[in-house]
Structure 1
Amino acid sequence: MGNLALGRKLWADTTCGQNTTELYCFYSENTDLTCRQPKCDKCNAAQPHLAHLPAAMADSSFRFPRTWWQSAEDVHREKIQLDLEAEFYFTHLIMVFKSPRPAAMVLDRSQDFGKTWKPYKYFATNCSATFGLEDDVIKKGAICTSRYSNPFPCTGGEVIFRALSPPYDVENPYSAKVQEQLKITNLRVQLLKRQSCPCQRNDLNMKPQHFTHYAIYDFIVKGSCFCNGHADHCVPVDGFRPVKAPGAFHVVCKTSPCQ
C-alpha cells in the first residue's frame, strides 16, 4: 500500500506565475483561531525558487512538508488529475490545503482511462443548495458531505475520502461490489468554488485581489495494484518510467499477469 501519486505526474489546469511573476498572500490563524497578519510573496513557474508546480503535491510530505502547488490568481474553477498506466485499487485520498478549503468540489474517478467519469464524492458547505444532494452529516452514506468545507483552518485544512466508507463498508474485501468501488485508472478533483479566509473580512485595509488562489500542500492517493486478491506481489509495467522526483521511491504494478 503506497502513495500512487509518487513518481507519477499530477496535472492541474493552471499554475501560479505560469506566464509572469505574480504576487500572492495567505492568511493563517493561531490555535485559538485568532488571525495572524497575512504573509505575501511572489511566484514564477519558470524560476525554481519561486515555482509552485503540481509535482509539489506529490513529493514526500515528510521530507518536503512545506512545498505546495498553487493555481493562477483569480481562478474560480480548477482541475487536478492523476492518470495511472493500469488498473489500481484506490483506498483513500488525503489532501492538505495551504489555501482555505473550497466551498464546493467533486472527486471523480475513471475506470477506462479517462473515457468516462463517475463521482466518488461531492464536498460543499451546503450540499442541498450547491448540488441538490443530502449531506452525510445528516444522512449516513450520502454522496455529499460538508465535513471538509469549513474555511477554518485558513491553511493546513484537510480533505479526507475513504473509498470504503458507508455504504460500502462490507466484510468481504474481494467481493465484486467492493472491487468495482475501488478500481480506478484515473482520479480527478474538480475545485468548483473558492472561499476566502474569515480573517480577510476583519482586515479592511488589505486589498483582496492577491488572496484568490487555490493552493495544496499534499495530494496523497493511497492504493495498490489491482490483482483481484490472488497475488502476493505485482510486477512493474513494461516500459513504464516513473517521474523522477526528490524523495520519491515508487514501485508500479500491472494487473495481468499477477504473480
Structure 2
Amino acid sequence: MDSSFAVSFLPLALFFSLHLHSHLLVWAAMDSCYDEEGAPSRCMPKFENIAFNRTVVTSNVCGSPPEDYCMQTGSTRSCHHCDASDPDLSHNASLLTDFNRNEESTWWQSQSMYYGIQHPNSVNLSLHLGKAFEITYIRLKFYTSRPESFAIYKRTEVDGPWLPYQYYSASCRKTYGKDAKGYIRPGDDERTALCTDEFSDISPLTGGNVAFSTLEGRPSAYNFDQSVVLKFPKLRQDVVYN
C-alpha cells in the first residue's frame, strides 16, 4: 500500500516557504505483536518522523527563472537571491524533509507573486509515504509568515480522490465554505474536515508552526481502537498540502 499527504496553499504571501521535515509524527502500522509466549497481544508502535528524507512533489519552486526575494523580519527587511540551477541558492523540494539545525536552516520556497503565484492559483505539495501508517500528528514549520489559507488532504487509495483532512484560513466561510472553529457532535461524520483561523495571522513573521492532531475534536478519539470510521479507513493513507 502506498500512502501520501498533500497540502494546498492559497492565496500566498509575497513568497512562501516551508520546513516540512520538522515533525510529522505517526504510529507506524505493524502486522502483529506477540507476548513472551508467542501469543498475539496489544502493542503500541513507536512514534517516528515519517517525513524525514521522503520525496515531496511540488507544483512550484522559486529560481526558474532566478529571482530576488525579500523577507520582513520585524522592523527590517532582508533580501536574497533564489536560483534553481545553483545548489547554494536553490530552495528545492528535497529541503522540505532533510535534516538541519536551527542555526543552519534549509527550506523549500515558492516563486513570488510577481510570477503570478497568487489567488486563485494554488501551490501543492505531495508527500508519498510509501506504505501504510496510522497518522496521529502533523507539524508544519514555515520559514516566513504562515499563509492566509491552506488545506491538508489525504488519500486512502493509491489512485483514489484526495479528501480534505483539515482547513486553515482567516476567511474559512469565504474560502472553504466552513465556519471557523467548528466542531463535530456525537453522531456526526467524524471524518469531516474542520476549519480554523488559529494559524492564519501574519504573526510571527518567521518560524511559525502549525500543529494538527488528527484525533482532536473527534468524539470517538478516546475509543479510537473501536472506531471503524476513524481507524480503518486511515490505514492506507496519503497526504497532500494545498
Same fold (TM over 0.5): yes
Measure how far apart 1:14 and its partner are: 1.1
The residue type paired with residue 212 of structure 2 is F
Do structure 1's residue 140 and structure 2's residue 179 form an aligned pair? no
Do structure 1's residue 6 and structure 2's residue 52 form an aligned pair? yes
In 2 relative to 1, CA 171–104 (structure 1 residues): closer, same or farther, beyond 3 Å?
A: same
Q: Which residue number corresponds to residue 119 of structure 1?
A: 164
4+ long deviations beyond 6 Å: none
Runs of 5+ unmatched residues, structure 1: 30-35, 191-259
Runs of 5+ unmatched residues, structure 2: 1-46, 185-192
Q: Is the 8 A contact 1:25 1:41 kept in 2?
A: yes
Q: Which residue number corresponds to residue 235 of structure 2?
A: 183
Q: Is the 8 A contact 1:105 1:123 kept in 2?
A: yes
Do structure 1's residue 89 and structure 2's residue 130 form an aligned pair? no
- 1:174 aligned residue (225, 229, 235): 225
Provide the rounded CA distance (Å) in 1 between the counterparts of 2:66 and 2:96: 21
Q: Which residue number corresponds to residue 131 of structure 1?
A: 176
Measure how far apart 1:125 and its partner are: 0.2
Q: Which residue number corresponds to residue 99 of structure 1?
A: 144
The residue type paired with residue 157 of structure 1 is G
Q: Which residue number corresponds to residue 152 of structure 1?
A: 203
Do structure 1's residue 51 and structure 2's residue 93 form an aligned pair? no
Q: Which residue number corresponds to residue 231 of structure 1?
A: none
Provide the rounded CA distance (Å) in 1 between the counterparts of 2:111 and 2:233: 33
1:42-86 CA-partner distances (Å, limit 9, x unpaired): 011121110111111111254775111001222121001111222
In 2 relative to 1, CA 97–184 (structure 1 residues): closer, same or farther, beyond 3 Å?
A: farther
Provide the rounded CA distance (Å) in 1 between the counterparts of 2:166 and 2:233: 12
Q: 181-190 or 114-123, which moves further after superposition?
A: 181-190
The residue type paired with residue 15 of structure 1 is V
Measure how far apart 1:114 and its partner are: 4.2
The residue type paired with residue 38 of structure 1 is R
Q: 75-84 or 162-171, which moves further after superposition?
A: 162-171
- 1:69 aligned residue (108, 114, 118): 108
SS of residue paired to 1:171: helix
Measure how far apart 1:182 and its partner are: 4.1
Provide the rounded CA distance (Å) in 1 between the counterparts of 2:219 and 2:235: 13
The residue type paired with residue 177 of structure 1 is V
Aligned residues: 181
Identical-pair percentage: 25
SS of residue paired to 1:109: strand
Provide the rounded CA distance (Å) in 1 between the counterparts of 2:144 and 2:51: 21
SS of residue paired to 1:173: helix
Q: 139-148 or 56-65, which moves further after superposition?
A: 56-65
In 2 relative to 1, CA 57–5 (structure 1 residues): closer, same or farther, beyond 3 Å?
A: same
Q: Is the 8 A contact 1:163 1:182 kept in 2?
A: no
Length-normalised TM-score, structure 2: 0.69
1:178-208 CA-partner distances (Å, limit 9, x unpaired): 3146434311011xxxxxxxxxxxxxxxxxx
Q: Is the 8 A contact 1:45 1:51 kept in 2?
A: yes
Provide the rounded CA distance (Å) in 1 between the counterparts of 2:103 and 2:127: 20
Length-normalised TM-score, structure 1: 0.64
SS of residue paired to 1:128: helix
